[in-house]
Structure 1
């Protein structure tokens, strides 16, 4: 899956559409995914148009190398009609696209019913909910797609269980990077003299398990360890996390930052010694982490990562070499992993350096797109039909 130096087929001048739920300047892994694949298609020479809906629309504009058509707030019951009308207008001026990439199964419905050639991506929890009618639509999308993509082997197995083993085998293509800075200076060995910086960045929801991080670090504070922990992100669990920090009297060591702008996120990635993401599965395994772009970012930025064994994120590391994997429901295991990294700066730096080398080789959007195009037998001749 992770061929060294793999590049997508050249798509020079061909039109590729990306169907996305949200796009640049919005928060979340789905938005990062849409931007990553859109820019990778553009890098391969395609003329890329993203069709989306955000609170800032309606609007049409260029975002980096791609054109964005934003039909407006997603809660409108007329949103699918607006998207389909925008697609028809684009088709009238540019013709049938060579390929449409639905970044979720739901965003793949419109290209499917429009008879356009499309691929679709299944990530994680978004395909685990809904009754029989929802499953039937998902199966139809998967059967009609030129390729079904999953972002981890774990997600592929979950998808097979959900939709049945008779569907074509998915393309397992790991994600690329998100908010990590393009270049990170090597961590300074003298930083071991200061309190290590621990960083988490995610949507604040129960499966991210950030409350458990705070409790584990409270134990280590009581053991005499020094650290500074920055928690970035918004979501339904934010108030609970703030309450726990206050109850455990950790306000001088733990910053609950809420939303973090991209510029500060890049700085924190560059400076962090440890990245903490001990995710768990909840709701009988339906709510799980498919990949974990923030973890890949932290590895690229040369942080030692602690992640959960549950979900697809475990595929990102080799335990004890490029990171530490823990059972996020086991308080002692999480605390011991953090103690190990806080107590041994040399091991921490070695693990972080190995993580960076692995991330540089592995987590690339151009490789993600190349795997998709290879799977559908893509070439300049085949795509232009």
Structure 2
């Protein structure tokens, strides 16, 4: 509910926002905070469970007005977002508008005629859509002044799926930032442990490929490695029971445990105590369900974990194999096991990979840079 006298302001339209937990939801909050740090006042229109209406969120950077339009069917939510966008663009002179997904942008576009508009492209949300939404998507994307992809991989998939966008007026690639930059910068990694800790933290869905991760641990179980290891899995999702059953079947209770959901404070502590972050993602659902960037991987690396990631998706944009992490074929249990064995067995090698990966993430990944890239591209 900002006034029209604000020098620079952005209207953010987000499909969802914390307290809803998820990658896009976190993206929306991180960008809103970054806009504040960059001297831009954000107003957020979004949907999440709970009481609808305006609230003011307080952050270290300042205050953000958030309008929750409530929950319901997707058409109802989009209609409410559209009404809110119309009301806000009539009452306030925003410098520009930013839709954090294309569907939220559909609610914004009809009313954002004067300010310039940007939409973020994460990956799977442009590839997996019901057939009846594909025409809407094709008509909506060219109307934005800027399409901001979060990785080169995502940008390439956008071009592949929508070749008509090749001559569109504004396209950039700008990497995500880090979720816990301050905490990561203050942390001093330890590389001298009596037990090597392998960690996965993600939504337990097919593309994260944790069933193959568990199978790889089974291959390591009987090897005579120089140091013991344990594998910890955090997160919830539809494959939780199947992963648990695989642990039972392969008799891995001495090596693998699942923690379920964790609050942010515990996630940070887990990152601090992680030696190897395992994320052997694949492209699922006929190559459409992709990892657009891999923020949790970058977060783990920023605390000093050596990353083992799959070759599919955005993580290969910021991980150079054998330099800042290890890239494997997620479909090969043997490759995953081989990468883990090398890192567990060779402490100096693990330290080199972890140190170089951490330095790259801290030097290159910043939410402030991300929103500044968007603002420069929009010329605002």
Which residue, 265, 269, 272 being the options, matches 1:263?
265
Pair 1:49 & 2:43 matched? yes
Structure ranking higher on relative contact order (CA contacts 8 Å, 6+ apart): 1
Equivalent residue for 1:35? 29
Report deviation, 1:132: 5.9
Residues 189 and 275 from structure 1, CA distance in 2 versus in 1: closer, same or farther, beyond 3 angstroms? closer
Of the candidates 287, 290, 309, which is equivalent to residue 288 of structure 1? 290
The answer as to 2:99 corresponding to 1:102 is: yes
State the Cα distance separating 1:112 from its structure 2 match: 0.6
| Cα separation, 1, equivalents of 2:306 and 2:6 | 39
Of the structure 1 ranges 295-304 and 68-77, higher mean CA displacement relative to structure 2 is found in 68-77
| Alignment check: 8 A CA contact 2:81 2:108 kept | no
Q: Does 1:137 align with 2:136?
A: yes
* 1:216-260 deviation per Cα after TM superposition (whole angstroms, max 9, x unaligned): 111111113421211111111111111111112222321211111
Partner of 2:69: 71
Alpha-carbon distance, 1:175 to partner: 0.6
Q: 1:160 aligned to 2:154?
A: no
Report whether the alignment pairs 1:58 with 2:52. Answer: yes
Larger mean CA deviation between 59-68 and 38-47 belongs to 59-68
Cα deviations by residue, 1:165-221 (Å, 9 ceiling, x for unpaired): 444262111111125634442222432xx1111111111101100111111111111
Give the length in aligned residue pairs. Answer: 365
Relative to the length of structure 2, the TM-score reads 0.91
1:383 match: none
> Normalized against structure 1, the TM-score is what?
0.90
Q: CA deviation at 1:92?
A: 5.0
Residues 307, 12 of structure 1: CA spacing in aligned structure 2 closer, same or farther, 3 A cutoff?
Answer: farther
> Deviation at 1:74?
4.4
Matches within 5 A, 1:14-25: 14-25=8-19
Structure 2: segments with no counterpart, 5+ residues:
none
RMSD: 1.9
Instruction: Give SS of 1:220's match.
Output: helix
Unaligned runs of 5+ in 1: 1-10, 379-385
2:277 is equivalent to residue 275 of structure 1: yes
The separation in 2 between residues aligned to 1:182 and 1:62, in whole angstroms, is 28
Q: Deviations over 1:26-81 (max 9, x none)?
A: 22110111111111111111111111111123142223232211122243653223
State the alpha-carbon separation in 1 of the partners of residues 6 and 366 from structure 2: 20
Kept after mapping to 2: 8 A contact 1:184/1:270? no
The 1:108/1:377 distance shift into structure 2, 3 A limit, reads same
